[in-house]
Amino acid sequence: MKLFAMATATLLSLSVLAVEPPVAARQPKKLTMHGETRVDDYFWLRNKRSPATIAYLQAENAYAESLTAPLKPFENKLFEEMKARIKEDDSSVPYKLAGFYYYSRFEIGQQYPILCRKPIAADGSWEASAEQVLLDVNALARGKRFMEIGEFEISPDGKLLAYSTDSSGFRQYQLRIKDLASGKLLPFKRERVTSVAWAMDNATVFFSTEDQQTKRSNQLWRHKLGDAADRLVHEEKDERFGLDVHLSRSEGYLFEQVGSHTSTEIRYLKADAPNDKWRVLARRRTDIQYSAEHRDDAFYLRINDTGRNYRLVKVPVADPARQNWTELLPERADVMLESTDLFKHFMVRHERVNGLHQLVITDLRTQQSHQVAFDEPAYSLGTEANAEWDSTVYRYGYESMTTPDTTYDYDMVSRQQVLKKRRPVLGTFDPANYVTERVWAQARDGVQVPISLVYRKGLQRDGKAPLWLDGYGSYGLPNDVYFSSQRLSLLDRGVIFAVAHIRGGGDLGEKWHDAGKMKVKQNTFNDFIDSAEFLIAQGYTSSARLVVEGGSAGGLLMGAISNMRPDLFKVVVSDVPFVDVLSSMLDASLPLTVGEYEEWGNPNKPSEYKWMRAYSPYDNLGAKAYPTMLVKTSLNDSQVMYWEPAKYVAKLRALKTDSNPLLLVTNMGAGHGGASGRFDRIRETAFDYAFVLSQLGIKQE
């Protein structure tokens, strides 16, 4: 079969001598739906087992390598300066659990963490105790191109560890159990495991597994150590729903959470009675989602049955019928109740107001509440390890675009907080040299869209500065700001970094999500374009200096805006992009597809096909000039299959009328998140930065 318009021998070479882009063969395939026939010339790239497919991906890698060969010294320089900011022998803040302190640490030169613990002595000390290595991820990764730890669950008595690993990047995890006294693995081994939880007898594990074809987490199993067979507890038949299992912090109950993108059903089981029958807490209802925690004789439900931003109710364990619910906190139109953390005497609420996090602490004995204040214009909060049930201390993480990720212990009684660790940034970094701000862009329909920015002090808003604008806008996930020591290599070269908190995400609550999905998905793309135009109008940058980036569903954003306004951007960086929307959503055999109908729509329905057809990036490529593009994917991606970006680039090469560079880079040994090793990830970033900065004309120094 003829693969390319050029000589195959030339294109398949991995030599940097390749100077012409690959031209993929056209093999037209007609796809007909609702009276429309689309012709897909590159459908054949879906065959991962075909040597022709692998050859094309390798040819694209060779072309990218050849085109960027002159940038290799700059890439190496960026890599070394980024690596030099990292404390290579860093460690996490230890957390207490059942007589031990648990922590992870890195060793100099090693790619992966070592997961450890130390016993707590009778006097409360632990530093001098002997270290026990639970998992050396470097050893697990030896001889493999990828390694990731999924589940990590210690049995209640501290003697056994249930953990799962993925060695391909396909997010397909194998579950093992380790005897921590002997260091030996038990014979138990299960594949395609998605979650795991121990019962309080220290001998029973519950775990969920995924469907082999669709990767939907659809079965819950019970295993008694020493038994030859597992017992199937529940199989979820509805293809929109997936399930997982976890043990409550109180250790009183096991919860099986069954959920789709819009609906939830939770089953519960007394954790000390693993052979009993699971019971339903609240049956699934259309468009009603909830989560559950346990304390004493009640369940606490965060539920959106009276409004999109959730309320909090208390449910008696003895009779959880709806008529017995007590509302503790009503739904509020201007406050998103994102999550709760329940302890023996306290509750911590994570809320979002006007796009910013806040923490609210409630003493459940007095019902008195107070808020923890934060003063930066844009920041992010996260829950750290809070494993102990009877605790007066809440551990949380804080970071901003100028403050490295920081761990605090907050005393919920005295209201004092202690800084436990701020991730070190080696070298000359001083946060006082940088400015972060939050501005609001007016979208074309009058809605105000928040934008977070960071830049080095001394910025002149004359439109000459390069600006890197990040966007996502899907699944109701907030695109929270974060600190990056690698990003300093951009900021110190005069680049502004910005995040557009566009509709479709959860930055301003569930209504923000609703306003950018399904039929009104176009709002997501409009918001991003309007944010870019606002930044240009305010003198932060110009079209000739504007770089945009998005990954996964954010890659869909990149594809849509590139079709809509290719003149507005200088460079587009598209990471594992979801760009072949129609074809993927019409294939129910693919991972995630059916469950995704509630986010994007079901194209088997004519009206929903129509709105998806209007923006699907692959189907709307045209014969016109496009910006410079760097498109990245991974061969073992299970969320956005490699062929979507591969087909997109092949088609775009055939259509575009400009001479701007178009690169497709495929990691042949990773998945959706790219490389797994910490230095490998830095190398990927250094490549991206070297390419983008060169396109902006920034000196390679």
Catalytic residue numbers read 552, 637, 672
DSSP tag of 381: E
Task: Mention every residue, 6+ apart, whose C-beta is less than 8 A from residue 315.
Answer: 281, 282, 298, 299, 300, 301, 324, 325, 326
What's at 396, amino acid-wise?
A: Y
Phi-psi label, residue 226: left if phi above 0, alpha if psi -120 to 50, beta otherwise:
left
Task: Mention every residue, 6+ apart, whose C-beta is less than 8 A from residue 466.
Answer: 494, 495, 496, 541, 545, 546, 547, 696, 698
| CA 196/CA 37 separation, integer angstroms | 45
Residue 654: how many other CB atoms lie within 10 Å: 15
Helix (H, G, I), strand (E, B) or coil at 694: helix
Q: Are strands 496-500 and 467-470 parallel, antiparallel or unpaired?
A: parallel
Which residue, 348, 332, 337, is CA-closest to 291? 337
| Backbone φ, ψ for residue 46 (5° rounding) | -70, -15
* C-alpha separations of 202 from 199, 228, 231, 610 in Å: 6, 17, 17, 54
DSSP string, 54-102: HHHHHHHHHHHHHHTGGGHHHHHHHHHHHHHTS-TT-BPPPEEETTEEE
Q: Which two tokens stand for residue 383?
A: 């829950």
Q: Which two tokens stand for residue 386?
A: 């809070």
Q: 238-255 b/e with 16+ CB inside 10 Å = b?
A: ebbbbbbbebbbbbbbbb
HSE at residue 658, side-chain half, CA atoms within 13 A, is 14
Contact (CB, 8 A) for 467 and 568: no
